[in-house]
A and B are shown apart, each in its own frame.
Chain A
Amino acid sequence: MATVELINVSKSFGSVEVLRDINLSLEKGKFVVFVGPSGCGKSTLLRMIAGLEDITSGELRIDGQPMNEVLPAKRGIAMVFQSYALYPHMTVFENMSFGLEQAKLSKPEIEARVQDAAKMLQIEGLLDRKPKQLSGGQRQRVAIGRAITRDPRVFLFDEPLSNLDAALRVDTRLEIAALSERLPDTTMIYVTHDQVEAMTLADRIVVLNGGIVEQVGSPMDLYESPASEFVAGFIGSPRMNFLKGGVAEAHGAATYGIRPEHIALSDERGDWSGRVVLTERLGSDTFVHVEVKGVGPVNVRVEGRADFASGETVYLSPDPASVHLFDPQGRPVVRSVTP
C-alpha cells in the first residue's frame, strides 16, 4: 500500500511554474530519494509534502487521506532541514522535547522518547548542551533525533549531508541507512543532488529535471535502463560518454552512450584507436581519457593501476550489450545492436 501519493501535483510561484503534473506513489517503509540538478524543484516538492508550501493544484494523500489542507503538524511527518533548524537558545533535550510538549504528551512519555532517540543516535551525553556547543555532525544527529521523537509515518530529509565534510558525510550516510532499517514502517523521503547518495541509500529513485519527473525506479533500473539521455548522464560516476556523429548515425541514433566502465582498453587491438590525453589515478581505479579518431573524447575506466603515457596509442572496445542509444529528443532508441 502506498503511504504518500501525489496526483497531478503542480506548483507555481506567481506566474513561474516550478513543478508540473507530478504523479508519484511512494510505498510504505521504502527509502525514496528525489535527485536532480540544482533548481529542479526537489526541495519545493518535499516542502509541499511537509506542508510548508501550498500545493497549487493536484492532490497529496498520506495513507489514503487527502492532506492538501492539513496542518504540517497533523500530517504525521517529520523533517530534517539542510541547516538543521535547531532552536539556538534551547538545550538539546529541549530541542527534542519542544514539539512533544506541544502534542500534550505526559512528562515521563516525553522523557522516554527523548532518551530512546538519544540512545539510538548516541547523543545521550549531549542532552544538556546548546546547539552552538556541538560540532556539525552532532547537530545533524540532534536534528535527526528531534525528528525521530515525533514518531512520524514519513521522514523527510532535505540535503541533510551537504554541510558535513567528506568523511563525516560517508559515516552519516551509513547511519541514515541503518536508521531506515531500524524503522521499517517509516517511509523515508530524501532530497539530494548527489547521485552517489541517491544510489547508495535508495530503494527507489525519483529523478527530477526542470520541474518534471524524468524517471522513477530502483537504482539499478536507472543505471541499466535510463529512460532518457538526461538520466543516463545524471546517474553513474564518472559520467557516461555521449558520442555524436558517425558512431551514432551508424546505429540509427543521434547520440551513442557508453559508460566508462563498459569499454575494454588494450594496447594491441580494438574497435577504436586513439591517443591517451590524460590519466587520472585513484588507486582502486584509473580513468583514461582518450581522443578517439573520428569519434571524439572518450573516458575509460580501468580497474586497478594502469600506466599510460600521454600521446600513447591505445585501442578501445565498447561492450555492445551496454550501449545506450538516444534520438535527438534524448529518448531511448530501440536497440538493434551490432557493434
Chain B
Amino acid sequence: MAGKTAQSRLSRNRTRSAWLFLAPMLVTLFVVAAWPLGRTVWFSFTDASLDLISQARWVGIRNYLEWVDWGDGTGQYYGLLADPRWWRSVWNTVRFAVVSVSFETLFGLVIALVLNQSFRGRGLVRAAVLIPWAIPTIVSAKMWAWMMHDQFGILNDMFMRLGLISEPVAWTASPDTAMIAILIVDIWKTTPFMALLILAGLQMVPQDIYEAAKLDGVPPTRVFRKITLPLIMPAVLVAVVFRALDALRVFDIVYVLTPNTDATRTMSVYARENLFDFDQFAYGSAASTLLFLVIALITISFILATRMDLEGNTT
C-alpha cells in the first residue's frame, strides 16, 4: 500500500515536471500559431478592413456565403464560396501541388538511388545537388524569370537554336505556359530536398539484407520493389507530406514569376490580394481560413489513406 502511494507520487511528480518542460514550447506555439490563426478566423466573421481593424463587427458567415435578394423574387449568392475566382485558385493550387510533388518524388527517388551508390566524388555531388534548394526562392524565381524572358531569355534562345520552337515563347505571360513555368521552377528547386529526405531513408536500410537477397538470387528490380521500396516508404510518405504542405501554400514563386494571372493564381495569392491589395481584410481572412481548412483536409486524408505511421512503429 505504501509502495503504491510512493509509486503514484513519483509518477505525479514526473507528470508535473513533464508539463513544466513542455510549457515554454506550448506558450510559444500558442503565441505564434494558435493566436494568429484564431484572430484570422475571427476576422473572417467580421467586416474588418485594413484601416479599421479595431472597429471590426461580427457579421456572421456573410464573407463566406450570402444570399442577396433583388426584391423581385430573384437574387444571387455572394461570398467566397460563390466566387469562381476563388474556386479557380483552389483548383490551380491543388493541380500545382499534385503535379509538382509527384515529379519531385519521382526525380528525388532516382537521384537518391544514384547518390546512395558509392562512386568517386560522391560527397561533392551530394553537396552540389543541394544548391537549388539553398538559393532563396525569391532569388531563384527572379533568376528563372530572366531565363524565361520572352526577348532576352536564354531558354528561348537555346530552344530556337535547337529548332524546338519557331518563335519566342512568353513563358510566364502566356496563360498556356504560365503554370508549366512555375512547375519547372518549383520542381527544379525542391527535388534536392526530396532527394535528401529519401536518401536518409535509403541509408536506414541495413546493407546485410541486400546480401541475403543476393544469396536468395533475387534480381535487382525485384529487390527494389520488394525490399528497398517497402523499407523507404515511410520516409517517402513523410517527405511527400512535408512537400505537399509547402506546395499547397505556394506563394513566392507565383508572386514573382506570374503575378495577376488567372492561370496560376493560388489560394495564398488570392488571400493576399484581398487582404492587402483590394482592402477586403475580412474577405481575405475568410480565404485564409478556408486555405487552412483545405490544406488540413487534404493532408489528413492523405495520412489516413496511406495509413501513414506517424509514431514510427513499422520499421
Contacts and interface: CB of A to CB of B under 8 A. Distances in A.
Contacts of A83: 206, 208
A50 B214 CA distance: 10
Nearest to A132: B315
Interface in B226-250: 226-227, 230-231
B231 A81 contact: no
B215 A78 contact: yes
Contacts of B216: 73, 98-99, 102, 150
A88 B215 contact: no
Interface in A86-123: 86-89, 98-99, 102-103
Interface in B178-232: 206, 208-209, 211-218, 222, 226-227, 230-231
A71 B217 contact: yes
Given A83-B208, A85-B209, A87-B227, A103 B217 contact: yes
A89 B231 contact: yes
B209 A86 contact: yes
| Secondary structure dominating the interface of B | helix
A77 interface: yes
Contacts of A71: 217
Given A88-B315, A89-B230, A89-B231, A102 B212 contact: no
B162 to A, nearest CB: 45
Contacts of B211: 52, 81, 85
A51 B314 CA distance: 32
Contacts of A81: 208, 211-212
Contacts of A103: 217
A77 B214 CA distance: 12
Contact of B215 (A50, A89, A132): A50
B215 A72 contact: yes
Interface string A149-191: 0100000000000000000000000000000000000000000
Contacts, number: 59
B218 A99 contact: yes
B315 A89 contact: yes
Residue of B208, B217, B218, B231 with most partner-chain A CB within 10 A? B217
Interface in A51-75: 51-52, 71-74
A40 B186 CA distance: 53
Contacts of A86: 209, 212
Contacts of B227: 87, 89
B217 A85 contact: no
Contacts of B208: 81, 83, 85
Contacts of A146: 212
For B215, B218, B231, the residue with the greatest tally of chain A CB atoms inside 10 Å of its CB is B215
B225 to A, nearest CB: 12
A88 B315 CA distance: 7
A294 B169 CA distance: 99
Contacts of B206: 83, 85, 88
Contacts of A102: 216-218, 222
A79 interface: yes
Contacts of B315: 88-89, 132
B209 A77 contact: no
Nearest to A87: B209
A163 B289 CA distance: 55
A73 B217 contact: yes
Contacts of A88: 206, 209, 231, 315
A83 B214 CA distance: 16
B215 A98 contact: no
A140 to B, nearest CB: 14
A102 B226 CA distance: 12
Nearest to B230: A89
Nearest to B315: A88
Which among A50, A89, A132, A150 has the highest number of chain B CB atoms within 10 Å? Answer: A89
17 contacts: A51-B214, A73-B214, A74-B217, A77-B215, A79-B212, A79-B215, A81-B208, A83-B206, A85-B209, A85-B211, A87-B212, A89-B227, A98-B226, A99-B216, A102-B216, A102-B222, A103-B217
3 A-B pairs closest in CB distance? A73-B217, A99-B216, A85-B208
Given A88-B209, A98-B226, 14 more contacts: A52-B214, A72-B217, A73-B214, A77-B215, A81-B212, A83-B206, A86-B212, A88-B206, A88-B231, A89-B314, A98-B213, A102-B222, A132-B315, A150-B216
